Amino acid sequence: MEKYNLLYVDDEPSNLRVFKDTYRRKYNVYTATSAKEGMMLMEEHHIDLILSDQRMPEMTGVELLRYSLEKFPKINRILITGYSDINAVEDAVNQARIFQYIQKPWSEKSLSGVIDDALRIYQLEKENAQQKIELQRAKEKAEESDMLKTEFLHNLSHEIRTPLNGIYGFAQILDSDTVTAEERKNYIRIIQNSSNQLIKIVSAILEFSKLITDQVTIETQEISLNDLFSELFYVFELKAEKKHIKFDLEPGLSNEECFIKIDRTKLYQILSNILDNAFKYTEDGFVVFGYKVRNDKIRIYIKDSGVGIHADNQRFIFERFSQEERYLSNKWGGLGLGLSIAQENAKLIDASISLTSKKGEGAVFYVDIPYLPASSSEQTITLDFKNATPRSSNKYKILIVEDEEVNLYFLDVLIKKIIASDTTILHAYNGKEALDVCKSNSDINVILMDIKMPIMDGYEATKKIKEIMPHIPIIAQTAYSTNEDRHKAETAGCDDFISKPINKFKLKKIFSLHLTSNFGNNK
């Protein structure tokens, strides 16, 4: 433990020597032969306890202790005085608020007890003062957090109700017989856009909840960085066209050299959130993103000509529920979670995010990731099924395992639309029923398996079905969409994975792979 600093002021050097010899092992002892010298030592050193003789030339002990009270009010003070100085003691108590007085000649036993008590109380008061500061800070932080959460909930209500209004409102209008074909087409487009907006909001909230509860694991993969960037470019190109913003991609490596090891999902989420932010706050001009190799790092940059971020606010924008200014939220919407999610994900993959920006002059976000090269020969070949369709010359039999009637009906209709109207659809409402259906239908081509169901869940059902019919492709379809969920499905034996709400283009791509390769294998 660090020693306390004691200051003893007395005009008799012999008293100072005795005091120093007595206490120098236990404390850091400073001595002064005059009040003036004592004042200087108070200014130069952090003093924890002051002891002063009363009778000194130029300034009395009471006057010195009163000075110390004005300059250093938190330090305890002890007056050392003779029997004849009772008036001085009264003055010391009233004017200098001394902790205690000691009569001369003092003994080590009596003085040590007073010093220990004075320092113990001084330390308690010091700790109490620090606790008060910390409590006040915690109170202010809690109040700020409550305010931000309240504002977040208000924003959340607005953000959810807006797309819901589009879905619910235009669904009611579509029920009218007076709607023209052109109007119907427009209303359906609005419902689709509103649904996508709602999915995005729910996904952000789920991702945020996983991050703050440490329910995220990292899955390092060997990926093509150029493929990932091309995918992002394709997704955001539509936004650029809609807002008439110039959008450019600047890859830093050739297609043969761009293979690295990283968690693809996390990197995609990071860049997607930052790009989304760039487009949200850019009304006109440009958005550019690309990357460069810098020694053992890859620096990814996303540059825009948007509203920019004031220097004073740049350190706040990665905080949860935060947006730079409230009017931005009012004008552009959003939950204030995007950059926070990006920052949390960056930490998980040993990456960092920084930015440069001036208000009104756009911003540049930098994402620095580890450069861990991977050989292109080690990559899993990804087939392009963008334009592929299942063989229409054969009739397929598909088993849908789903316990929700609406989802079941939707999948039934959707599958017949994207494959063929004469496709045979079998239904099962839980894993046990699915197992029974498979036992009596050996010619099933594909199983679309829900995960969360009563009686027997999708994981257990998949394991049991694979034991008797290992050749049948099983596609997990679930509201759970994390890497952990995907891994769990794969471990159970699922051949592919699609998350709810189901996108018809993604489902078509999956069917194109598994139906084309599977037909005829189970005859």
Residue 160 belongs to some domain of the structure: yes
Span 69-98, average pLDDT:
76
What mean pLDDT do residues 235-246 have?
A: 88
Q: Are residues 374 and 259 in the same domain?
A: yes
The reply to whether 173 and 228 lie within a common domain is no
Which of 16-30, 69-83, 430-444 is predicted with the least confidence, judged by mean pLDDT?
Answer: 69-83
Give tens-digit pLDDT for 332-375.
555 667 888 888 889 999 999 999 998 889 999 999 999 999 87
CA 202 – CA 479 distance, rounded (Å) = 11
Q: Which two tokens stand for residue 8?
A: 């003893």
Return d(Cα 258, Cα 269) in angstroms, integer: 19
Examine the domain organization and report whether 342 and 407 are in the same domain. no
Question: What does the block give as tokens for 263?
Answer: 């968690």
- Check residue 229 and give its pLDDT: 94
Asked if residue 273 and residue 192 are part of one domain, the reply reads: no
Position 123 in a domain: no
Query: Do 354 and 410 fall into the same domain?
Result: no
Q: Is residue 494 part of a domain?
A: yes
Range of the domain at 170: 131-212
Q: pLDDT for 27-38, tens place per residue?
A: 999 999 999 999
Write down the pLDDT at residue 42: 92
In a domain, 113, yes or no: no
Domain end marker among 378, 405, 421? 378
Q: Could you give the residue ranges of the DSSP H alpha helices within 175-263?
A: 181-212, 225-243
Percentage of residues in the chain with pLDDT exceeding 90? 37
Q: Which of 2, 111, 4, 136 is nearest to 53 (CA)?
A: 111
Q: Is the model more confident about 290 or about 452?
A: 290
pLDDT in tens, 87-101: 666 766 667 678 888
CATH of the domain at 53: 3.40.50.2300
Distance CA 435, CA 335 (A): 43
Task: Kindly state whether residues 256 and 356 are assigned to the same domain.
Answer: yes
Instruction: Note whether 300 and 426 are same-domain residues.
Output: no
In DSSP notation, 300-341 reads EEEEE-SS---GGGTTTTTSTT--S-HHHHHHH---S-HHHH
We report the CATH number of the domain holding residue 236 as 3.30.565.10
What is the DSSP track for 390-457? --TTS--EEEEE-S-HHHHHHHHHHHHHHT-TT-EEEEESSHHHHHHHHHH-TT--EEEEESS-SSS-
Do 196 and 334 reside in the same domain of the chain? no
Query: Residue 176 is part of a domain; what is its CATH number?
Result: 1.10.287.130
> Residue 385 domain-assigned?
no
| Higher pLDDT among residues 53 and 518, named by residue | 53
Name which of 450, 469, 446, 462 is nearest 391 in CA terms. Answer: 446
Q: Is it true that the peptide bond before 501 is cis, omega within 30 degrees of 0? A: yes
Complete DSSP assignment for 334-348: --S-HHHHHHHHHHH
Q: Enter the tokens of residue 108.
A: 């080590």
- Euclidean distance between CA atoms 63 and 67, whole angstroms: 6
Report the residue count for the chain. 523
What CA–CA distance (Å, rounded) separates 128 from 250? 57
Positions of E strands within 11-84: 28-32, 49-53, 76-81
Judged against a pLDDT cut of 70, whether residue 376 lies above it is answered with no
Q: Are residues 248 and 174 in the same domain?
A: no
Residues 401, 333: one domain? no
Residue 137 CB contacts under 8 Å (≥ 6 apart), including other chains? none
Asked if residue 247 lies in contact with residue 240, where contact means CB atoms within 8 angstroms, the answer is: yes
Residue 236 and residue 289 share a domain: yes
Residue 120 is assigned to a structural domain of this protein: no
Number of independent structural domains in the chain? 4
Under the banding of pLDDT at 50, 70 and 90, the label for residue 522 is very low
Pick the residue with more confidence: 376 or 279?
Answer: 279
Q: How many CB atoms lie within 10 A of CB 109?
A: 7
SS3 263: coil
| Inside any domain, residue 471 | yes
Same domain, yes or no: 484 and 509: yes
> What pLDDT is attached to residue 201?
80
Query: Can you spell out the DSSP letters for 80-118?
Result: EE-TT-HHHHHHHHHHS--SEEEESSP-HHHHHHHHHHH
Secondary structure (DSSP) of 469-497? -TTS-EEEEES--SHHHHHHHHHHT-SEE
pLDDT beyond 90 at 260 = yes
pLDDT at position 110 is: 84
In a domain, 342, yes or no: yes
